[in-house]
């Protein structure tokens, strides 16, 4: 059931936004996107002329751009940030400004503009390192990088703004996998699939770290559900959003099996293990999401790998895997953001 008419999506030209925005338009919502378009406008080219879409090129820290975005909107799905640990570490001051300092003013602007529902994309990485067999939403946050520290610091800012007319809901997503018009090949399943396809080997960094995974289409399904759900079950709540929890080494073996099926004439793709300084490891429980919203992901990491294989076969990602556009930190190094 549609409860809202116009959805503001800051960061809507990113990896998830480039899949979410067309889905929202397909469902009949009006959509306004605020984005710097650092990766170009191609991710939303297929819907750029849609009468229900307004694209605003601007900075999340620009109050005038934010007011323009929020005008006439009654819901927000907040995706905007400098994404992933290495990109954030490139310029900690810039990342603090974009990922944290801008957030409080944005929340207040949303309230003043009459937004009634605010969905915030936090991160499952806020748990840092945990040997708990099932990390629930009550688990202490132990962020180990600036990226997840800023995500953790944004959460209480949003929750403190809750009121009868302003319903926040916070999502801590797993690592997303699968195809997007704004493709990232620097995420666990995606990078392993890319290595297997182009380099004919699977390079595993570390291997024992536990990582939760979620398919792109399931992530988008969940955001849409959060727009359709009544206030009471989600009011100021936090939900983990994950499906399959595998170690990085297990993920590599799963993808090795996909290639065995998809390319039976190829030699077996070898798995090569390299050391890693990335200590993040956690096994997320999504029991609350199932219990409260009856949300059950439908796609697997095998589906995510096959999506990418199909995109590679059809040459939908020209320049992959070496074009910096597919790797956040490499692309950010080429920019001069302030």
Tell me whether residue 320 is in a domain.
no
According to DSSP, the residues that pair with 57 across neighbouring strands are: 35
User: How many angstroms separate the CA atoms of 272 and 289, rounded?
Assistant: 36
Token pair for residue 142? 């132990």
Task: Please give the Cα distance from 174 to 169 (Å, whole number).
Answer: 16
Instruction: Find out whether 210 and 250 touch, Cβ atoms under 8 Å.
Output: no
Number of domains forming the structure of the chain:
1
**What's the token pair of residue 136?**
């629930």
pLDDT in tens, 75-103: 999 999 988 767 777 788 888 999 999 99
Q: Tell me how far apart the alpha carbons of residues 162 and 117 are, in angstroms, rounded to a whole number.
A: 10
d(CA 61, CA 94): 11
At 28 the pLDDT is 97
Res 82: pLDDT: 87
Q: Could you list the residue range(s) of the whole structural domain that residue 175 is in?
A: 6-183+213-244+282-301
Residue 63 lies in a domain: yes
- Kindly report the pTM of this predicted structure: 0.96
Burial 150-182 (b: 16+ CB within 10 A, else e): bbbbbbebbbebeeeebbbbbbbbbbbbbbbbb
Q: Is residue 328 part of a domain?
A: no
Cβ within 8 Å of residue 112, ≥6 positions away: none
pLDDT below 50 — which residues of the chain?
none
Kindly state whether residue 24 falls inside one of the protein's structural domains: yes
In a domain, 225, yes or no: yes
* pLDDT at position 332: 72
Residue 164 covered by a domain: yes
- What pLDDT is stored for residue 337 in this prediction? 64
Q: What is the reported pLDDT for 236?
A: 98
Establish if 165 belongs to a structural domain: yes
Q: Which residues contact 36 (CB under 8 A, 6 or more apart)?
A: 57, 58, 59
Q: How high is the pLDDT of residue 85?
A: 67
Closest CA to 20 of 176, 151, 186: 176
Instruction: Return the beta strands (E) in 174-224 as ranges.
Output: 175-177, 202-205, 210-215
Please report, for the domain that includes residue 156, its CATH number: 3.40.50.720
Residue 127 lies in a domain: yes
| pLDDT tens per residue, range 20-34 | 999 999 999 999 999
């Amino acid at each position: 059931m549609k409860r809202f008419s116009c959805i503001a999506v800051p960061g809507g030209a990113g990896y998830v936004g480039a899949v979410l925005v067309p889905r929202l338009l397909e469902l009949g919502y009006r959509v306004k996107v605020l984005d710097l378009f650092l990766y170009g406008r191609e991710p939303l080219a297929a819907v750029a002329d849609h009468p229900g879409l307004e694209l605003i090129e601007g900075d999340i820290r620009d109050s005038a751009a934010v007011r323009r975005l929020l005008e006439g909107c009654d819901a927000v799905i907040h995706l905007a940030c400098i994404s992933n640990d290495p990109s954030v570490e490139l310029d900690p001051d810039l990342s603090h400004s974009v990922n944290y300092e801008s957030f409080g003013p944005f929340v207040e602007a949303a309230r003043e503009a009459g937004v009634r529902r605010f969905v915030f994309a936090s991160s499952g990485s806020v748990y840092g390192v945990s040997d708990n067999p099932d990390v629930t939403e009550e688990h202490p946050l132990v962020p180990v990088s600036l990226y997840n520290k800023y995500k953790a610091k944004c959460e209480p800012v949003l929750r403190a703004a809750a009121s009868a007319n302003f319903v926040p809901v916070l999502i801590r997503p797993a690592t997303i996998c699968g195809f997007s018009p704004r493709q990232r090949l620097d995420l666990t399943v995606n990078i392993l699939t890319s290595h297997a396809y182009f380099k004919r080997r699977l390079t595993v960094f570390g291997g024992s770290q536990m990582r939760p995974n979620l398919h792109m289409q399931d992530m988008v399904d969940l955001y849409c559900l959060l727009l359709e759900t009544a206030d009471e079950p989600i009011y100021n709540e936090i939900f983990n959003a994950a499906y399959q929890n595998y170690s990085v080494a297990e993920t590599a073996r799963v993808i090795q099996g996909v290639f065995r099926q998809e390319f039976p004439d190829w030699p077996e793709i070898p798995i090569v293990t390299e050391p890693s300084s990335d200590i993040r490891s956690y096994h997320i429980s999504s029991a609350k999401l199932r219990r409260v919203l009856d949300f059950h992901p439908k796609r697997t990491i095998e589906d995510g790998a096959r999506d990418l294989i199909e995109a590679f076969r059809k040459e939908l990602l020209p320049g992959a895997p070496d074009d910096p556009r597919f790797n956040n930190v490499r692309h950010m190094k080429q920019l001069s953001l302030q």
